Amino acid sequence: MTATTDVLPTDHPVELAHGHGDGGINTALLGMLLFIASEIMFFAGLFAAYFSVRAKYGSHWPALPEGVEFAINPLVIIATLILVSSSGVIQWGLWRIRKGDRRGLNRAFALTMLMGLTFLALQATDYVLLADEGISLNGSIFGSLFFTMTGFHGAHVLGGVIGIGIILSRGMTGQFSARNHVAVEAVSAYWHFVDVVWIFLFLTLYILR
């Protein structure tokens, strides 16, 4: 008699619960980690540019137009709490599928996707409010750096939301199990990266300024 399995043909039967096969780390997960490494260097370049310009202006920073002030909108604090919390939610989903709990995975990823979309909506609202206050992409060097750095991050959040949506759609068809969930590992790692980058952006642009 042939033993049955709940893994669909699209998965890799040699993968273990943490994304490692008989020969070491799975190539798909390794590819994601290398991609994240390249994105870390990308954002490092943006931060380097920001601090370089900031040092040049010295005490005159953030060099906004006369009469224009930059203040933290409470919506940004809420957005930050939501995004940081989503990291815990997606990690919980990863833990659940490692135990074979498909329903837990789907619930966690659905909630994470909702939290990511909420973050993007709050960020867009903050952009509108800043524009009303006279802070724009072309209005000052601070505005240019601010919108460039947060805009690129927002694009990465959107990419993460799309990736989470793909995982969710696959998860709802039962394509993941305790032994086969490398894609879940990869997307979770990317989402943690997105969250960490935002923490540094929030501290740099809103707190330290």
Q: What is the DSSP string of 180-201?
A: --HHHHHHHHHHHHHHHHHHHH
Count H helices, E strands: the chain? Answer: 5, 2
- pLDDT in the model for residue 24: 61
- pLDDT in the model for residue 65: 85
d(CA 166, CA 106): 11
Question: Positive or negative CA dihedral for 106, 197, 46, 79?
Answer: positive
- pLDDT in the model for residue 61: 93
- pLDDT in the model for residue 209: 82
Task: Kindly list the domain boundaries of the chain, sorted by start residue.
Answer: 20-208
Q: What kind and span of H or E run contains 20?
A: strand 20-21
d(CA 209, CA 201): 10
- Tokens 């740099």 belong to 204
Cβ atoms of residues 75 and 122 within 8 Å:
yes
In 99-140, where does DSSP find H-type helix? 102-132
Q: Is the pTM of this model over 0.75?
A: yes
Q: What kind and span of H or E run contains 11?
A: none
Residues of the chain with pLDDT under 70: 1-24
Which residue type sits at 83? L
According to CATH, the topology of domain 20-208 is Four Helix Bundle (Hemerythrin (Met), subunit A) (1.20.120)
- pLDDT in the model for residue 66: 84
